[in-house]
Amino acid sequence: CKNTVLTGPIETTLCDYETIESVNDELFNNLSDLVDLYRECPFWAEHGSCNNPGCAITTVDESDIPEKWRAAALSKRHELPGCYYRDSDYCFLDDNTEGDYFDLQLVPERYTGYSGHDARRVWRSIYEENCFGLSELSLMKGKSPAPVTLPDTMIEALHDDGKDSPAQCLEKRVYYKMISGLHASISTHICHEYLNQSTGEWGSNLNCFIDRVASHPERLQYIYFNTILLLRAVHRVGPYLSAFDYCSTGKHEDDAETWDRLAKVLDIARDTGKFDETVLFRGENANMLKEEFKTHFRNVTRIMDCVGCDKCRLWGKIQTTGLATALKILFELDEKVLNPRMNPDLLHRSEVVALFNTLFRFSESLKAVDDFRNEWQELDKEE
Ligand code: FAD
């Protein structure tokens, strides 16, 4: 657990742990208020059937949503020139006019009880998307060719061990870090707001965190990694985000607060979003690799439809959409389309909402990690 204190540069970024930690309180506070002002804004997700009543979410009535953000109005808006439309997306966006509205503030990401075979199967499918060719993996690991769906015992074989390997290209490692970092962030939230089933009380569960995250320091590293990647994406579309019509509540003072919070987040993103996307997708097969990467990531956003718990699926969809939006911003949009006046509809509203909420979730995870460190130190003192 001592490894939860990380120092020095963060691999594949130009940032270090200390810098991210020094700004996280401010980032968290500003995002918290920014996201707060989204309260009345819609987010629609495709909904499958939920068999577990404990996973259910309360929806918000459409009449409580500002008219211009209702599904019918939003579906008319998004038009982009030629190839920037759709082909550039790293996720499947639910573009239909039917759907539910959720107030994200009322749905914290925390323990829901969703686990066992169903949850593992979803995670396994997501990690399997990182397999750019099972025969290559089999050769690397010295195993016989794997079946199309791997058994649980082989999930670890798909996992990066945190070290560079000549057989693993940089892009593949980045993919793995994003997924593992997301998984670690979700686990951190679960352990930080855990339901003790014998007492019925909610509280943090240090052993859960040690078991799932801290005893695998690379998982913790990837939470930082995703934070930096998201900050870099936010910085890259800073002018666009500054010109975006947030329509927080319609009241002048709320709008002013939104701009103020946003400006602070953008300052932090400028100073700490030190991810160099230009080192990826270079060389001979760059375009092919990028297409493959995009397909795999799109599949991950699709896999979210298989999550059998509404609350988990909602946050899974938002966060995979948020990460996919960051990838789109970093790898698909060139400088000339970033001008907000030329392309006011560059991103869907749901992408902007997902981007901010995902960054907020990661910032919240880093705050939770800090709480766990303090808890650990207190226990250490007592002994
Ligand atoms: P799991 O977390 O299911 O992990 C399966 C295996 O993957 C582990 O045995 C380990 O080998 C490996 N692994 C674990 N973490 C990592 C990592 N960071 N990097 C690489 N490998 C790893 N549950 C809730 O209570 N609340 C939620 O909000 C919630 N949201 C979810 C969202 C999604 C998209 C999914 C798929 C699941 C969600 N779950 C949620 C379920 C939760 O993630 C776990 O699956 C569940 O708590 C059971 O955990 P576990 O200890 O069995 O291992």
Lowest average pLDDT, out of 28-32, 223-227, 360-364, 367-371, goes to 28-32
The mean pLDDT value for 117-135 works out to 76
Has 312 been annotated as catalytic? yes
Return the best residue to mutate from 156, 187, 209 for the ligand 1 pocket (most ligand atoms within 8 A of CB): 187
Structure tokens at 131: 């397999």
Are 225 and 12 a contacting pair, CB within 8 Å? yes
The residues pairing with 3 across neighbouring beta strands, listed in sequence order, are none
Of the candidates 159, 134, 160, which has an alpha carbon nearest to the alpha carbon of residue 148?
Answer: 134
First to last CA, the chain: 16
Q: Is 64 in the pocket of ligand 1 (CB under 6 A)?
A: no
For residues 3 and 215, what is the distance between their CA atoms, to the nearest angstrom? 8
What percentage of residues in the chain have a pLDDT greater than 90?
32
Structure tokens at 111: 């323990």
b (16+ CB within 10 A) / e for 361-377: bbbbbbbbbeebbeebe
CA 300 to ligand 1 centroid distance, Å: 15
CA 120 to ligand 1 centroid distance, Å: 7
For residues 287 and 290, what is the distance between their CA atoms, to the nearest angstrom? 5
pLDDT tier, 215 (very low <50, low <70, confident <90, very high otherwise): very high
Q: Is 155 in the pocket of ligand 1 (CB under 6 A)?
A: yes
Complex ipTM > 0.95: yes
Amino acid at 267: D
What secondary structure, in 3-state letters, does 181-239 show? HHHHHHHHHHHHCEEECCCCEEECCHHHHHHHHHCCHHHHHHHHHHHHHHHHHHHHCHH
Q: Is 364 in the pocket of ligand 1 (CB under 6 A)?
A: no
Per-residue pLDDT reduced to its tens digit, 148-157: 344 443 344 4
Are 55 and 112 a contacting pair, CB within 8 Å? yes
The mean pLDDT value for 224-239 works out to 96
The residues pairing with 9 across neighbouring beta strands, listed in sequence order, are 16
Q: Which of 41-50, 329-338, 359-368, 373-382 has the highest mean pLDDT?
A: 359-368
Return the best residue to mutate from 57, 112, 160, 186 for the ligand 1 pocket (most ligand atoms within 8 A of CB): 186
φ, ψ of residue 9 in degrees (nearest 5)? -65, 150
For residues 291 and 313, what is the distance between their CA atoms, to the nearest angstrom? 26
Has 309 been annotated as catalytic? yes
Q: Is 179 in the pocket of ligand 1 (CB under 6 A)?
A: no
Output the average pLDDT for the chain: 77
Q: Which of 8-22, 82-96, 109-123 has the highest mean pLDDT?
A: 109-123
Pairwise pLDDT comparison (263 vs 142), residue with the higher score:
263
pTM: 0.83
φ, ψ of residue 376 in degrees (nearest 5)? -65, -45
